[in-house]
């Protein structure tokens, strides 16, 4: 796909679908002279394995960066735009300028001057995208755990903001909080004040 001397950044996101919390995108330039056994799509890994690989990526990557976009920006701009913005910011923030950016999914990141390729299921087939998926997922999970301490009634640490039965029951009982994405169905159908 790319020559051995090409600086390649993999890009992925975590948190497009939840009803609460931010979307997080990460960009990673791996050092391919190192051993990266075990890198995989973050969704296929246990939390403990993700944490271990997160530490390995931070120690062994040539460059990495992530960007967090919160619920208000998601509500204002929509989740797709917010995600693409986070991806672009992640790449622009890298300490190394990539010559090629591989983006998981069907879209490329807007506003970048380097070559890009969208790679469907890239987190399962490309090491740098898998590394980015792990960084994005671990960072987002940690944010949701912190939000759980602020608003414990919702159980964010357990379901990470997805629309689980427990989460929906808590929203019906307590109403939404500032961490919720009010533009998302079923949130936008609720007529409840923020707590």
Binding residues for a divalent metal cation: 12-13, 104
- Angle between the 47-60 and 127-150 helix axes, to the nearest 10 degrees? 120
For residue 63, the cross-strand partners are 29
Report the first-to-last Cα separation within the chain, whole angstroms: 50
Q: How many CB atoms lie within 10 A of CB 101?
A: 26
Q: Do β-strands 100-104 and 23-30 pair in parallel, antiparallel, or remain unpaired?
A: unpaired
Task: Identify the residue whose tokens are 């020559």.
Answer: 3
Q: Which residues are annotated as a binding site?
A: 12-13, 104
> SS3 of 192, please?
coil
Strand order in the sheet with 100-104: 61-69, 23-30, 8-14, 100-104, 115-119
Closest CA to 127 of 53, 40, 64, 13: 40
């Amino acid at each position: 796909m790319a020559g051995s001397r090409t600086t390649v950044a993999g890009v992925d996101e975590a948190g497009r679908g939840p009803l609460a919390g931010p979307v997080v995108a990460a960009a990673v330039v791996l050092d391919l002279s190192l051993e990266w056994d075990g890198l995989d799509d973050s969704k296929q890994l246990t939390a403990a394995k993700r944490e271990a690989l997160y530490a390995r990526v931070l120690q062994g990557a040539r460059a990495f960066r992530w960007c967090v976009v919160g619920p208000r920006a998601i509500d204002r701009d929509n989740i797709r735009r917010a995600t693409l913005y986070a991806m672009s910011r992640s790449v622009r923030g890298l300490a190394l300028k990539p010559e090629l950016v591989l983006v998981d999914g069907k879209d490329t990141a807007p506003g970048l001057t380097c070559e890009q390729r969208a790679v469907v299921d890239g987190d399962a087939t490309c090491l740098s995208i898998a590394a980015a998926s792990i960084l994005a997922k671990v960072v987002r999970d940690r944010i949701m755990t912190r939000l759980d301490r602020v608003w414990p009634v919702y159980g964010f640490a357990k379901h990470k903001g997805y629309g689980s039965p427990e989460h929906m029951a808590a929203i019906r009982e307590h109403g939404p909080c500032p961490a919720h994405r009010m533009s998302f169905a079923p949130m936008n159908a609720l007529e409840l004040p923020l707590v």
